[in-house]
Amino acid sequence: MTRVHVRAPGKVNLSLRVAALQDDGYHPLVTTFQAVSLFEDVEVGDTEPGAGISISVTGPHADVVPTDSSNLAWQAAELVAAAAGVDPDVHIEITKGVPVGGGMAGGSADGAATLVACNALWSAGLSQTDLSDLAARLGSDVPFGLVGNTAVGTGRGHLLTPAMSRADLHWVFAVRDEGLSTGAVYRAYDEHVGGPAHVSPDDDAALLAALRSGDAAAVGAALHNDLQAASLTLAPHLRRTLDLATEAGALGALISGSGPTVAALAGDLRHAHAIAAAWNAAGVADQVHLATGPVHGARIVTHVGPERHP
C-alpha cells in the first residue's frame, strides 16, 4: 500500500481589509496572511478498487469535523482524481492541530494537504500552478495553505502575492469552543460599517514595511481587522481578551479574520508565555496556543510505497 503524509499550517490574518458588498455577493478583500506553527497532518493511502473516499479524524474536537463530502479534504481528493484520470479510491486520515472553528483555516489546510498528498499518491504530475487552481475552487483560504509563509491575498483572498518577512514572530492564540458564524459577522459588518468602495494593498504599506525590516513592534502596531468591530457586536466578551493582551504588554492584538480567535503578538517566547498565563488566569479562553510564524506551506513529510501512474 502506498501512503503519503503531508503537513499544512494554520494561519493568522495580520491585516484584513474589506470593501463594500458587491453586486456579485462578494466583498473584495485585501488580507495579509501568515502561516503559523499549528499544523494539520493528513495521510492518504490506497484502498481497494471501488472503495471510494473515506475520512477519519483524530485530535481535539475531532468529533465535530465532518467525514463526508462536505469536508474539503474529500473534495480535494475528488478534484485530483479527476485531473489524474483515476478513480478516487483513497482513505484520508486527518490529525487536527489547528483549532476547530477558530477561524485559523484548519479545514482549508486539510484541503491543501490533501491536494499535495493525492497528487503524489496517484503520480498525477500536477504543477504548483495546477494545484493552486484546484485550491481556489475549494475555497478562498486553501491556496494560501499550499504556499504558507507570508502573503498578500486579494480578490476573495485567493489571489496571492508573496510578502517578504524578516521577522520571526511569536504568537499567542485565545480560542473559544463556541465559534462565530462568518456569514453573521459579514452581515453585521454590512449593517454597522458598510466598508469602503475599494481596498488596496497600499493600505497596508506600514505593515509590509515592518515585515520586510523585521521590526516585530512595528508589525504589532500595524495589525488591522476591518471585521473586528462587527465581531465584537456579536461576541462582546472578546473585548476582555483583547484588553488582557494589551495589559500584558502585547505588541499588538486583534481578532483574527471573522473570529472568534484572538491573536496576540509577543516580543519573545517568554513574553508569549506571560500573555498565555494572563488569559488562562482570567479564564477568557477555552484553549490557549503558542505558535511562531512564518512557516512553510503544505509539504510532504513521508511517501512510502511504489509510485502509481495514472
- CB neighbour list of residue 118: distance below 8 Å, 6 or more residues apart: 4, 44, 76, 77, 80, 81, 84, 90, 124
Residue 239: how many CA atoms within 13 Å on its side-chain side? 8
Residue appearing with cell numbers 515585515: 211
Q: What is the DSSP letter of 87?
A: -
- The answer to the question of whether 267 is labelled as a binding residue is no
105 marked as part of a ligand binding site: yes
Is 107 flagged in the annotation as binding? yes
Question: Among 11, 41, 96, 226, which one carries the catalytic annotation?
Answer: 11
Contact between 225 and 263 under an 8 Å Cβ cutoff? The reply is no
Q: Is 89 a catalytic residue?
A: no
How many Å apart are CA 290 and CA 270, to the nearest integer? Answer: 11
Annotation marks residue 11 as catalytic: yes
Residues 171, 267: Cα–Cα separation, whole Å: 9
> Is it true that the peptide bond before 310 is cis, omega within 30 degrees of 0?
no
- Tell me which of 89, 110, 141, 226 is the catalytic residue: 141
Contact in structure between 292 and 271 (CB atoms under 8 Å):
no
Is residue 35 a known part of a binding site? no
Any binding-site annotation on 103? yes
Task: Please indicate if the annotation marks 102 as binding a ligand.
Answer: yes
Q: Is 99 annotated as a binding residue?
A: yes
Q: Is 101 labeled as ligand-binding?
A: yes
User: Binding site, residues?
Assistant: 99-109
Residues annotated as catalytic are 11, 141
Annotated binding site for ATP: 99-109
